[in-house]
Copies of this chain bind each other. A is one copy, B any other.
Amino acid sequence: MSKTTYWLGVDLGGTKMLTALFTAKFKLLVERKEKTSGQDGAKAVVAHLQELIAATLAEGGITVKQLGGIGLGVPGPVHVQTGAVISAPNLGWHNLPLQKILERSCHCPVRVFNDVDAGTYGEFRFGTGEQARCVIGLFPGTGIGGGCVYDGKIFTGRENSCFEIGHMQAVPDGRLCGCGRHGCLEAHASRLAIAADAAAAAFRTDLRDIKSRTLAKSIAAGDAAIETIVRRAARQLGVAAASLVNLFAPDIIVLGGGLVEALEKLYLEEVRAGVTHHAMPLLADRVKIRAAQLGDHAGVLGAAALVAEARGRL
């Protein structure tokens, strides 16, 4: 490959898909964002994605031959060797061999990662987590995602991606989680859990209206009940973070996602307090707790850098 190799990063979410074309030094050339229509089925989403990739390359004036590879982050566990998506509930996908499908159609190397892993790697390489030995990413949103970069590599199992912090046990015999189990962190501290509490407090019924920014506005306007609900959830995330500190002795915890973007100060305060009060002092004293720096770009940057690393170009 010549010095003119380019890398394409994709962040495939349940509501939007984002593509970004980077130079060999990961300077952004082109980015595109479109809505995902998961309800149209896997075939339609993959076709849409293929069009978007082609359009991104065309806009950048880059041919596939100049492309070192495509890295994708997807919202669910992946098979680390084959790049198959094991499940992506927001897209209705089960066992979709995404890497194979795209390698055939795009005629270039493709690697598939869990989206939170890709985002954590992006922050590690280009954002707030640079140079650390162990970086943990916590992304509270509709659910609660987590990722870990340890010794410069994504932390995975032998076969599957892991670090499913949303399903750590937070409350014995607690609330029913989407996964069918009780008491998962996600069932108590995600945006949906907060929205359910807020709806109950305000006698409202449509949880979809209760977005992160809506919560931030209510708190800014002095709504003490909403602030109490959100602080409780953020603190619960902090207690889980304390368990992670006791297990991993990370250098940095990076907080990102919609809730943190809307309520950065509150989240930093409560997660810091949770770690201080629940982790071993020796380990709690050493961990930095930071807000993510790259926003939406963390995922596409991370996925692009990961495919480049897999291709031995870093």
A278 located at the interface, meaning its Cβ lies under 8 Å from any Cβ of chain B in the complex: yes
> Provided the pairs A159-B286, A172-B239 are in contact, do residues A167 and B280 lie with their beta carbons within 8 angstroms?
yes
Task: Kindly specify which of A119-127, A200-208, A246-254, A264-272 makes contact with the partner chain.
Answer: A246-254
> Provided the pairs A133-B158, A157-B283, A243-B243 are in contact, do residues A169 and B249 lie with their beta carbons within 8 angstroms?
no
Task: Name the B residues within 8 Å of A280 (CB-CB).
Answer: 77, 164, 167, 179
Roughly how many angstroms separate A60 CA and B2 CA in the complex, as a whole number?
Answer: 62
User: Range of interface residues on chain A?
Assistant: 35 or more
Of chain B, the residue at the smallest CB distance from A181 is: B278
A171 located at the interface, meaning its Cβ lies under 8 Å from any Cβ of chain B in the complex: yes
A134 located at the interface, meaning its Cβ lies under 8 Å from any Cβ of chain B in the complex: yes
Quick one: which of B77, B87, B168, B282 contacts A247, CB cutoff 8 A?
Answer: B168
Roughly how many angstroms separate A146 CA and B163 CA in the complex, as a whole number?
Answer: 18
- Scan A135-172; emit 1 where CB is below 8 A from any B CB, else 0: 00000000000100010000111111111110111111
A84 located at the interface, meaning its Cβ lies under 8 Å from any Cβ of chain B in the complex: no
Roughly how many angstroms separate A134 CA and B244 CA in the complex, as a whole number?
Answer: 17
Roughly how many angstroms separate A132 CA and B157 CA in the complex, as a whole number?
Answer: 11
Quick one: which of B87, B165, B283 contacts A246, CB cutoff 8 A?
Answer: B165
- CB distance A247 to B165 under 8 Å? yes
A213 located at the interface, meaning its Cβ lies under 8 Å from any Cβ of chain B in the complex: no
A77: min CB distance to chain B, Å: 6
Of chain B, the residue at the smallest CB distance from A246 is: B164
- CB distance B247 to A247 under 8 Å? yes
Quick one: which of B134, B248, B278, B286 contacts A169, CB cutoff 8 A?
Answer: B278
A277 located at the interface, meaning its Cβ lies under 8 Å from any Cβ of chain B in the complex: yes
Of chain B, the residue at the smallest CB distance from A247 is: B163
- Interface pairs (20), CB distance under 8 Å: A87-B282, A133-B158, A157-B248, A157-B249, A157-B250, A157-B251, A157-B286, A158-B249, A160-B282, A160-B283, A160-B286, A161-B249, A162-B248, A164-B246, A167-B279, A169-B170, A169-B240, A169-B242, A181-B277, A181-B278
Q: Interface on A for B, CB 8 Å cutoff?
A: 77, 86-87, 132-134, 146, 150, 155-165, 167-172, 179, 181, 239-240, 242-244, 246-251, 277-280, 282-283, 286
